[in-house]
């Protein structure tokens, strides 16, 4: 700012200086007007002097004197030690010849004053646009006020004398021009046009900022500052600068403002209170349930896993939600077990979403399961019947494309639907039961990669159309993550004997297990050093989308008995050769997991190398970032906190579009013959005429015609 204005001034000075030089010598006295001493009658009231004299009343003495001095010492430093300066000061003491100390003094004053003044000149520039009141206060409140009068005296005197010297007049005039233009009042001809507009805007912005009224106290800084300055000037304290804070406080205390009634209610942060209210219910649960306490005790006996204990171990591993949130989740799980018929309940983890997150609870229900699933199955069966039943009209060929085998979902409590999952967005909000997962959803979910939004009803828009909304996608991802990352130390679970054998006959693999009562624990060091000490205890999900192999051929025989026999045969021919998909059986060590392009699928480590004897083993999945497991030898737990996506070092590639169907191959049944030619028909007629008995003729012709067709 400073630089730009001074540059402008210099330019103007060049302009105006050139104009003035001719008359400057003759109107030496006219400049004396400004200093207010003798006003000679012969002074030519030129257009230039007019504004100068006009400028004097609003432009205070400080502003007029400060600028030339600043310019002398500041940007135009070259002029400061110049001879005019010396001689201008010299007349003060000795009119003829300057003494050795005289210039020194003058320079001193010249150098001291600007320091005191520069802030003032800065203040005054803006204040010229402000109200008169501040203008005055600024003037009068300045500490350097007395100094100015002195300096005025100093500087005015030399001027009178120096103006008799024509050689110095030019410089004098220059300085006066500077002074005029810089103080904002300018000469008429050399009015700076761009500068005030930028300045004014800046000043207006600053003023608007100062005038911004605080919503709390109803004050604004502008009034406050003027009040403070008024108070200081009224009271004239000795150490105003030291007690400025107290003065400010006093002014504020003295400020009287009446609190007016407003019709609008004050704004409240509703969601904060709402969630606090809901979470309060979590903490108060004990008192609420009083009625059937015994029954609750029975149910909730040990259905809930100890979330805080496993959270402690996970915290050792550097995973977890933080202490208070974990406890809230714990309470929310408690609420879940109290309100639902739940046999076992475990904190599965947290899936992050774009707008809200999901807290997932893994539960096993007791006998009472709800009937939603049955309804869903009915719907799908109806659809199937609709497809197969409408085969009565034989007139036109119907589309014989059949949708690929719909693979039924697994029964609840088996396979991927072994557990029931409840989700909520925040502890305290209601739990929502996720629907059970279908193989089609799992298969599709493997091909897409979408962020969760946090609203269960959001439709999933993806290229292989996803059958269901976000709740189904969430459920499918949970199934995939559980199948991939739920592990336990070797020996903790064993196959249960009675059930296992039965299953073996039917399915070719055992799918149930029980806790091993003789489990003695594993050394933590072994768990860290060898991956073969960890085993999967959740069934592998086959490419088909189920845990247990479902043979699509069997189904086609059972369900489509009413279909034509031919069709069934065809299908058998096509499908007979599908091999059964087999995955790794239950309780397979994770050391046999597939590598992800030379990246090991698991990372194990000890949570603390400093005190290894009390450390726990931490297992981290590299396939599903966010999945962790710990084991301290006896206890173990799995948790997942993350976005719910599988890791792959390559970028996601959308599945290729399905192959285009081939058209029917052109064969004898499509190709037609040429029309019968004249020769053929004549030959035919000749043959007819040659035919002997009219009675047999008809039959023959029929046969012949058939041939031609």
Partner 1 sequence: MDAESLLLSLELASGSGQGLSPDRRASLLTSLLLVKRDYRYSRVLFWGRILGLVTDYYIAQGLIEDQLAPRKTLYSLNCMEWSLLPPATEEMVEQTSVVKGRFMGDPSHEYEHIELQKVNEGDKVFEEEVVVRIKEETRLVSIIDQIDRAVAIIPRGALFKTPFGPIHVNRTFEGLSVSEAKKLSSYFHFREPIDLKNKTLLEKADLDPSLDFMDSLENDIPKGSWSIQMERGNALVVLRSLLWPGLTFYHTPGTKNCGYIYVGTGEKNIDLPFML
Count Cβ neighbours within 10 Å for each residue of 236-259 and write b for 16 or more, e otherwise.
eeeebeeeeeebeeebeeeeeeee
Please say which residue, 107 or 225, places its beta carbon nearer to partner 1: 225
Smallest Cα–Cα separation from 36: which of 160, 179, 177, 176? 160
Tell me how far, at minimum, the Cβ of 608 lies from partner 1, in Å: 5
Looking at beta carbons only, is 447 or 494 nearer to partner 1? 447
Q: Show the tokens assigned to 167.
A: 């050689």
Nearer to partner 1, 73 or 357 (CB): 357
Please say which residue, 114 or 353, places its beta carbon nearer to partner 1.
353
Backbone angles phi, psi at 262, to 5 degrees: -115, 155
State in angstroms the smallest separation of the CB of 474 from partner 1. Answer: 14
CB of 619 to partner 1, least distance (A): 13
CA dist., res. 647 & res. 601, Å (int): 10
Between 171 and 623, CB nearer to partner 1: 623
Tokens of 137: 């206060």
Closest CA to 36 of 3, 6, 67, 64: 64
If the CB atoms of residues 169 and 620 are measured against partner 1, the closer one turns out to be 620
| 549 vs 643, beta carbon nearer partner 1 | 643
SS3 603: strand
CB atoms under 10 Å from CB of 307, counted, come to 23
Quote the distance between the C-alpha of residue 153 and its chain's center: 66
**Pick 58 or 322: Cβ nearer partner 1:** 322
Residues in a beta bridge with 631: 617, 636
DSSP letters, 270-315, are HHHHHHHHHHHHHHTHHHHHGGGHHHHHHHTSS-B--HHHHHHHHH
Coil, strand or helix: which one is 576? Answer: coil
Q: How far is the CB of 271 from partner 1 (least distance, A)?
A: 5
**Smaller CB distance to partner 1: residue 127 or 316?**
316
Tally the C-alpha atoms within 13 A of residue 46's C-alpha that lie toward its C-beta: 18
Residue 192 falls in which region: left (phi positive, over 0), alpha (psi -120 to 50) or beta: beta
Closer residue to partner 1, CB minimum distance, 161 or 356: 356
- Which residues make up the interface to partner 1 (CB under 8 A)? 269, 271-276, 315-325, 350, 352-357, 426, 448-451, 597, 599-600, 603, 605, 607-611, 620, 622, 625-626, 641-643, 645, 647, 649-652, 654
Provide, rounded to whole angstroms, the least separation between the CB of residue 611 and partner 1. 8
CB of 177 to partner 1, least distance (A): 29
Cβ 448 to partner 1 shortest distance, Å? 8
Q: Which residues pair with 536 in a beta bridge?
A: 487
Minimal distance, residue 359 CB to partner 1, in Å: 11
Minimum separation from the CB atom of position 491 to partner 1 (A): 27
Residues 6 or more apart in contact with residue 588 via CB below 8 angstroms = 535, 536, 540
SS (H, E, C) 474-519: HHHHHHHHHHHHCEEECCCEEECHHHHHHHHHHHCCCCCEEECCCC
């Amino acid at each position: 700012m400073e630089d730009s204005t001074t540059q402008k001034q210099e330019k103007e000075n060049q302009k105006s200086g050139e104009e003035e030089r001719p008359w400057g010598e003759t109107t030496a006295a006219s400049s004396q007007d400004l200093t207010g001493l003798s006003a000679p009658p012969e002074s030519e009231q030129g257009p230039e002097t007019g504004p100068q004299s006009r400028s004097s009343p609003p432009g205070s003495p400080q502003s007029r004197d400060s600028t030339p001095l600043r310019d002398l010492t500041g940007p135009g430093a070259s002029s400061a030690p110049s001879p005019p300066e010396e001689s201008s000061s010299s007349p003060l003491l000795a009119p003829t010849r300057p003494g050795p100390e005289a210039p020194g003094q003058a320079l001193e004053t010249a150098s001291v004053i600007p320091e005191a003044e520069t802030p003032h000149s800065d203040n005054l520039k803006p204040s010229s646009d402000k109200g008169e009141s501040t203008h005055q206060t600024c003037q009068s409140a300045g500490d350097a006020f007395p100094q100015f009068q002195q300096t005025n005296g100093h500087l005015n005197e030399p001027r009178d004398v120096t103006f008799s010297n024509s050689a110095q007049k030019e410089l004098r005039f220059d300085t006066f021009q500077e002074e005029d233009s810089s103080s904002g009042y300018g000469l008429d001809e050399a009015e700076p046009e761009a500068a005030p507009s930028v300045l004014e805007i800046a000043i207006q912005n600053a003023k608007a900022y100062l005038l911004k009224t605080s919503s709390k106290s109803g004050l604004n800084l502008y009034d406050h500052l003027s009040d403070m300055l008024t108070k200081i000037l009224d009271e004239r304290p000795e150490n105003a600068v030291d007690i400025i804070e107290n003065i400010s406080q006093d002014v504020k205390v003295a400020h009287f403002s009446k609190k007016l009634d407003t019709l609008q209610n004050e704004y409240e942060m509703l969601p904060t209170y709402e969630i606090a209210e809901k979470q309060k219910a979590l903490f108060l649960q004990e008192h609420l349930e009083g009625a059937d306490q015994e029954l609750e005790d029975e149910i909730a006996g040990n259905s809930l896993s100890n979330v805080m204990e496993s959270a402690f171990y996970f915290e050792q591993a550097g995973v977890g939600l933080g202490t208070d949130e974990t406890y809230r989740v714990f309470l929310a799980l408690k609420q879940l077990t109290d309100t639902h018929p739940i046999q076992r309940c475990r904190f599965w983890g947290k899936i992050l979403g774009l707008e809200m997150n999901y807290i997932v609870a893994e539960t096993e229900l007791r006998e009472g399961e709800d009937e939603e699933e049955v309804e869903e199955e009915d719907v799908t069966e109806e659809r199937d019947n609709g497809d197969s039943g409408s085969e009565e009209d034989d007139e036109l060929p119907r589309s014989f494309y059949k949708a690929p085998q719909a693979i039924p979902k697994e029964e609840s409590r088996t396979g991927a639907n072994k557990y029931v999952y409840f989700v909520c967005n925040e502890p305290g909000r209601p739990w929502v039961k996720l629907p059970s997962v279908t193989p089609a959803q799992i298969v599709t979910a493997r091909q897409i990669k979408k962020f969760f939004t946090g609203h269960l009803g959001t439709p999933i828009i993806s290229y292989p159309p996803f059958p269901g909304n976000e709740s189904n996608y969430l459920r499918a991802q949970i199934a995939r993550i559980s199948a991939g990352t739920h592990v336990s130390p070797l020996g903790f679970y064993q196959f249960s004997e009675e059930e296992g054998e039965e299953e073996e006959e039917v399915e070719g693999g055992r799918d149930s297990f029980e806790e091993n009562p003789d489990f003695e624990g594993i050394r933590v060091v072994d768990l860290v050093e060898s991956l073969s000490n960890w085993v999967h205890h959740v069934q592998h999900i086959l490419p088909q989308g189920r845990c247990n192999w479902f043979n699509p051929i069997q189904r086609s025989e059972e369900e489509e008995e009413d279909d034509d026999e031919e069709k069934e045969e065809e299908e058998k021919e096509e499908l007979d050769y599908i091999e059964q998909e087999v995955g790794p059986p239950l309780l397979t060590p994770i050391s046999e997991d597939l590598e992800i392009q030379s990246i090991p699928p698991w990372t194990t480590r000890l949570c603390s190398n400093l005190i290894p004897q009390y450390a726990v083993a931490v297992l981290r999945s590299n396939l599903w970032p966010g999945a962790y497991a710990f084991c301290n030898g006896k206890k173990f737990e799995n948790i997942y906190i993350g976005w719910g996506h599988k890791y792959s070092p390559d970028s996601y590639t959308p599945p290729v579009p399905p192959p285009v169907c081939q058209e029917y191959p052109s064969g004898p049944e499509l190709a037609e013959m040429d029309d019968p030619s004249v020769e053929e028909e004549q030959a035919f007629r000749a043959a007819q005429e040659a035919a002997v008995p009219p009675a047999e003729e008809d039959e023959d012709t029929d046969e012949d015609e058939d041939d031609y067709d």
